[in-house]
Amino acid sequence: MLDEWRTSVVADLQRQNILLVEDGNHGEYRPRPDEFVDRGVVFIRAADMDSGRVLFDSASKINERARQRITKGIGAPGDILLSHKGTVGKVAIVPDDAPPFVCSPQTTFWRVMNSDVLDRKFLYAFLRSSAFHAQLASRAGETDMAPYVSLTSQRGLTVFLPPINEQRAIAHILGTLDDKIELNRRMNETLESIAKAIFKSWFVDFDPVRAKAEGRDTGLPKHIDDLFPDSFVDSELGEIPKGWHVRALYDCADYINGSAFRNDDFSSDRTGLPIIKIGELKDGITGQTKFTEDLFDSKYRISNGAILFSWSGSPDTSIDTFIWTNGEGWLNQHIFKIQFKRPEEKHFVYFLLRHLKPIFIEIARNKQTTGLGHITAQDLRRLETVFPTDNIILAFNKIAAPIFQKVFSTKLEGRILQSLRDSLLPKLISGELRIKETEKFLEKQL
């Protein structure tokens, strides 16, 4: 019953040893630049949180000297992390097998201390709810600096507390959707890794050509083996397979930059089509997304299946190639829409762009100012790549096209599941939708 639900202030829950909320060290105790190392204790910033996950592998690391000086923000498996400075409102849950880590001054851990009163996965769901984010938004502008919700302000927030059995049931329902979304993400990682491995073997390492040149078996079916030459020729990029050629990346496709939208283009009531910025490429359509009812040049319009390349932003987190799965929208500047010279080159060029991501990141890093970097059309003209013969591109397509289609359909399903989860979440958190009703609904959807 709703009358059994209550709300509690975080500070009160902390005094009762139900919840612990703590951020990373500020000032003299935080790590110094010379204390960051290749291997060590993970140092989690807001950029290291993505879609509910903590990106431990790509996060910065600090040495033991810095770790010993740190007195607060020392994380643990099961913590829920919240970004509270600069980028406010990212939420991620720490897995049970997480490596040792500490929070930066940008991040806070929320740690359940008494699971008989507060369920950890329910808390994770609550921190993603619109009710919680409305509280954050009301405090994020308390200073004239970048958006910031201090530790004191966080401890003044309120948490919904249904009976513990209700919490666990809500967490189970939302967790089922989260698990399916995560399964799809991992499946796509596996599929893309297969296609990337084939791409690298054929078009980067030239394994079939080297094998034939050395008189070895390529391991490929005869109809594919016959397509590859058995020798190399010199080029401006070094030795390349005979019959192949060098091509500027800029000539491999048409790169259409998005429009520079103005504030007066935005609709006040979120009507019309969404304006797709880099944030939408990573997070989908959210409450932060701008909409417009205006009509623009059709070249800026995108729909499901569009291949998009974000060429500006944080090199490590924003420079990437995406398959769009969020329906009709208008493309913002700083993102290229990729249009292929010939339809049969689509999958080759897509996996080429994916393969070149580390190079794009390095180019963007070299141009970094205030944390942002970019890739220009001139960079694409300078960046040359080896282009195979048409018959080999067609052979690659027969392998890559089904993988691409499966990745696309799985991403699309993931977006639908995410939308379903996000629509259920506020209704469950508020008690508007009861558990039995939700279970019956999900039986029809899944």
Sort 424 into a burial class: Cβ within 10 Å, 0-12 / 13-18 / 19+: buried
What pLDDT, on the 0 to 100 scale, is given for residue 1?
44
pTM, two decimal places: 0.80
**Helices 390-430 and 164-203: crossing angle, nearest 10°?**
170
CATH of 249-387, one of 3.30.930.10, 3.40.1350.10, 3.90.220.20, 3.40.50.150: 3.90.220.20
Classify strands 41-44 and 101-103 as parallel, antiparallel or unpaired.
parallel
Tell me, what's the pLDDT at 28?
Answer: 80
Q: Residues 246, 386: contact at Cβ < 8 Å?
A: yes
Q: Helix (H, G, I), strand (E, B), or coil: what is residue 256?
A: strand
CATH topology identical between 8-160 and 249-387: yes
Contacts of residue 444, Cβ cutoff 8 Å, sequence gap at least 6 = none
- Residue where the block lists tokens 């080896």: 386
Per-residue pLDDT at 424 = 86
First to last CA, the chain: 27
pLDDT at residue 142, rounded to an integer? 66
Instruction: For the domain covering 8-160, report its CATH number.
Output: 3.90.220.20
- Residue 440 is predicted with a pLDDT of 59
| 10-residue averages of pLDDT along the chain (446 residues) | 74 96 86 92 91 91 92 94 90 94 94 96 92 86 74 93 89 91 92 95 97 96 96 95 96 94 88 91 81 92 95 86 93 94 92 94 85 89 95 95 94 88 83 67 57
Q: Please report, for the chain, the start and end positions of each structural domain, with discontinuous segments joined by +.
A: 8-160, 249-387
**pLDDT at position 404:** 93
